[in-house]
Homo-oligomer: A and B are copies of this chain.
């Protein structure tokens, strides 16, 4: 039996299945008699010594976590800087860990979180503090290096493909006398993975989505408008899917509706669909509608992918196993071993191969004309949205999502003046 406590924390934008990872972490640790604390609001809770005792949660609650979206312990958008710049914070983390006998730190997030876990592990080594740091993958953006895909992406991808297929049927039915061009805005700052997933909604030149705009290709307005016009003339209507991060050839974001920057220094986006719809209306005169699903696309647990759920839980379980084996500074990643039938397994990747890298789509995933996905992209994407894993529903017609008690652990240190 392992001695020492495991600390689990969630970081960055949440997903439909990050709590499934949490559920698997806690279940696996319980099976191995390891105590699990969770940090409230990610690394912030660790700094503030705001820790949650997960042993107060019932088995039923931990099981229900696996079908509950959001981030059950709270997540955060806080990026620690280098060990030199933020040394006091890293030292504080080690202090908190030691005060609560934390020997295993599992940080569930994207590449920024992998970077944080790696730095904590380096400082622990420097101070000769016994600590095993594990990054646990999570992001709807699917932009993590090494891993074949990221838990969270498959469910957002399924939401996207299903929503676009459904809305396209609506538009097709009404196009004769109403909306002719419909624009769907998909999340994805720098990588067009979710926009690409929309391509699964239909195949062939006349099937929606007719045009997909990727951040990997420069947005050329004249060409885009001409393409929309051609599709409407040929098909009667046009469904466009645009990645929020599309940019013109000079690197300017097409729309920057949020206008600010978040704590990671990323530009806040939001207005691409509305911009494109406005252009189509003004320049081509077609009646337009657009949608900005925003958070709905990353929290839609009701339409989660079973494959994605399996990945999320397997990653959580493996993270605990890696931790207990002392596989410091690693991340459980998904390795695809076959496409048809789809097969995969969990492997360990060194955190430094993941931290601060960003995976964009391979060039051969985007059609030559730049407006669609290739057969290679389909072969990659399709297994990831496969299978359904609906939550249980109550008699009130709503999914039965759990709210944890989140009982705070008594603080042992002076308040943090961060």
A166 CB contact (under 8 Å) in B77, B200, B291, B299: B299
A386 CB contact (under 8 Å) in B10, B172, B307, B396: B396
- Collect the chain B residues with CB atoms within 8 Å of residue A119's CB: none
Stretch from A155-163, A222-230, A246-254 that touches the partner = A155-163
- Residues 136 to 168 of chain A near chain B (Cβ within 8 Å): 158, 161-163, 165-168
Q: Does the CB pair A398–B291 fall under 8 Å?
A: no
Contact with B along A45-83 (1 / 0, CB 8 A): 000000000000000000000001111101111100000
Contact with B along A257-274 (1 / 0, CB 8 A): 110101100000011001
**Oligomeric state, in number of copies?**
2
Stretch from A209-217, A318-326, A348-356, A387-395 that touches the partner = A387-395
Of A10, A166, A287, A386, most buried by chain B (CB within 10 Å of CB) is A166
Q: Does the CB pair A178–B293 fall under 8 Å?
A: no
- Collect the chain B residues with CB atoms within 8 Å of residue A171's CB: 295
Is A13 at the interface (CB under 8 A from chain B)?
Answer: yes
Contact with B along A155-192 (1 / 0, CB 8 A): 00010011101111111111011110010000000000
- Quick one: closest B residue to A396, CB to CB? B382
- Quick one: closest B residue to A41, CB to CB? B176
A172 CB contact (under 8 Å) in B70, B257, B298, B388: B70
Of A200, A201, A296, A307, most buried by chain B (CB within 10 Å of CB) is A296
Task: Tell me the minimal C-beta distance from A404 to chain B in angstroms.
Answer: 12
Task: Tell me the minimal C-beta distance from A78 to chain B in angstroms.
Answer: 6
Q: Does the CB pair B295–A293 fall under 8 Å?
A: no
- Collect the chain B residues with CB atoms within 8 Å of residue A270's CB: 289-290
Is A21 at the interface (CB under 8 A from chain B)?
Answer: no
Q: Does the CB pair B305–A397 fall under 8 Å?
A: yes
Please name 24 pairs of A and B residues whose Cβ atoms are closer than 8 Å in the assembled complex, sorted by A.
A13-B170, A70-B169, A70-B172, A71-B173, A74-B173, A76-B176, A76-B177, A77-B177, A158-B397, A162-B398, A162-B399, A166-B399, A167-B295, A167-B296, A167-B299, A169-B299, A260-B287, A270-B290, A274-B274, A291-B293, A292-B292, A382-B397, A385-B397, A386-B397
